């Protein structure tokens, strides 16, 4: 397998990367907070040919390959998976039209996709997987209510003023001069009182190394997810069966995104949990990846079926025939 992107793919990757950084990223937090569908951003993306990538040129689309789609999806989702989903949703409809539509349907709905936004609904059949039609706002979620104030009534203070409770160690400690964990933002002059520094250089090293290991693990799994996804796209592009590979890619990439987001929240500690910082949004955004487009459980049932098929067996209702 050739891992290099073609010149055309590199070009559209650069285009999507610039769009993600200059247009999506600055708007992501506000869209999340207001649950506003990003119509203006979608229209800007449409003008660049990023909305209908899989729709054939004959019907007004870009006519790109599945590989171009996964490359663009990665770039856009870097800035915001919700807005990326809003931009890329038409491709699901385009795919269904291309794979299963009649010529008349392709013409009629292709033209509407070229100018507007599509929606699709799946019925589940035997797998009992259901996917309901949406208004195109997939992935956009209302911002959670973060912990905004630390004020506690005097009668509810544990240990009285000047003390703070470390739940992890279930004991009282003097409140640090900077307010400890209740401080809202780490100002530049804030004394560095991380767990590592409090316990001396050895502790700091353990913390730095621990965070480093998390980053290494995230990088390793993200790269594996990227390769699985590109393999599935490549198989689709050359017309090879890719049911198993696509299930591997979807489930692994979604699980990786969720796992990495949880790790990122952990690294940021309480700030990671607060809606005032961008990390908790990553966790909310990643969760839906395990749910839509075929839940990860359903992907695993597909894997079992495909593995059995490849092994020459047919599984019916869990029994081998």
Ligand X SMILES: Cc1cc2nc3c(=O)[nH]c(=O)nc-3n(C[C@H](O)[C@H](O)[C@H](O)COP(=O)(O)OP(=O)(O)OC[C@H]3O[C@@H](n4cnc5c(N)ncnc54)[C@H](O)[C@@H]3O)c2cc1C
Strand boundaries in 66-179, DSSP class E: 163-166, 171-174
> Which CB, 57 or 304, lies closer to ligand X?
304
User: How many helices (DSSP H) and strands (DSSP E) are in the chain?
Assistant: 13, 4
- CB hemisphere CA count around 261 (13 angstroms): 22
Shortest distance, position 305 Cβ to ligand X, whole Å: 11
Strand boundaries in 129-207, DSSP class E: 163-166, 171-174
> Which CB, 138 or 286, lies closer to ligand X?
138
Q: Choose one: 116-124, 210-218, 232-240, 263-271; the region binding ligand X (CB under 6 A).
A: 116-124
Distance CA 256, CA 76 (A): 17
217 is catalytic: no
Q: Is 139 in the site for ligand X (CB under 6 A)?
A: yes
Distance CA 53, CA 216 (A): 33
Q: Among 4, 7, 115, 128, which residue sits at the site for ligand X (rule: CB under 6 A)?
A: 128
Q: Is 138 in the site for ligand X (CB under 6 A)?
A: yes
Q: 319: helix, coil or strand?
A: strand
- Choosing from 74, 263, 280, 293, the catalytic residue is 293
Rg over alpha carbons for the chain, rounded to the nearest Å, is: 24
User: Which residues, in sequence order, are CB contacts of 46 under 8 Å at separation 6+?
Assistant: 52
Q: Is 301 in the site for ligand X (CB under 6 A)?
A: yes
Among positions 259-298, residues that touch ligand X (CB under 6 A) are 288, 291-292, 295, 297-298
> Which CB, 213 or 292, lies closer to ligand X?
292
Shortest distance, position 131 Cβ to ligand X, whole Å: 3
Q: Among 29, 131, 182, 224, which residue sits at the site for ligand X (rule: CB under 6 A)?
A: 131
| Sites of contact with ligand X (CB under 6 A) | 120-122, 127-134, 138-139, 288, 291-292, 295, 297-298, 301
């Amino acid at each position: 397998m050739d891992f290099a992107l073609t010149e055309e793919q590199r070009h559209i990757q650069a285009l999507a990367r610039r769009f993600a950084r200059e247009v999506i990223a600055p708007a992501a937090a506000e869209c999340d907070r207001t649950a506003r569908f990003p119509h203006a951003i979608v229209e800007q993306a449409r003008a660049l040919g990023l909305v209908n990538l899989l729709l054939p040129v004959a019907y007004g689309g870009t006519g790109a390959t599945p590989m171009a789609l996964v490359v663009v999806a990665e770039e856009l989702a870097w800035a915001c998976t919700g807005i990326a989903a809003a931009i890329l949703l038409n491709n699901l409809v385009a795919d269904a039209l291309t794979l299963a539509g009649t010529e008349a349907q392709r013409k009629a709905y292709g033209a509407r996709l070229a100018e507007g936004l599509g929606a699709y609904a799946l019925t589940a059949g035997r797998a009992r997987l259901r996917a309901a039609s949406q208004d195109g706002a997939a992935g956009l979620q209302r911002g959670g209510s973060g912990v905004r104030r630390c004020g506690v009534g005097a009668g509810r203070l544990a240990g009285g003023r000047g003390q703070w409770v470390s739940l992890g160690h279930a004991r009282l400690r003097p409140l640090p001069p900077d307010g400890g964990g209740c401080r809202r933002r780490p100002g530049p002059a804030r004394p560095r009182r991380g767990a590592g520094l409090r316990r001396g250089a050895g502790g700091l090293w353990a913390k730095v190394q621990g965070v480093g290991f998390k980053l290494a693990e995230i990088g390793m799994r993200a790269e594996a997810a990227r390769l699985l996804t590109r393999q599935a796209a490549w198989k689709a592009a050359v017309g090879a069966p890719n049911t198993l590979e696509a299930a591997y890619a979807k489930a692994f990439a979604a699980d990786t995104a969720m796992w990495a987001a949880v790790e990122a929240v952990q690294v940021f500690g309480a700030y990671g949990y607060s809606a005032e910082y961008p990390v908790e949004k990553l966790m909310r955004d990643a969760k839906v990846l395990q749910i839509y487009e075929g839940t990860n459980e359903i992907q695993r049932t597909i894997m079992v079926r495909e593995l059995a098929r490849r092994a020459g067996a047919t599984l019916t209702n869990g029994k081998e025939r």
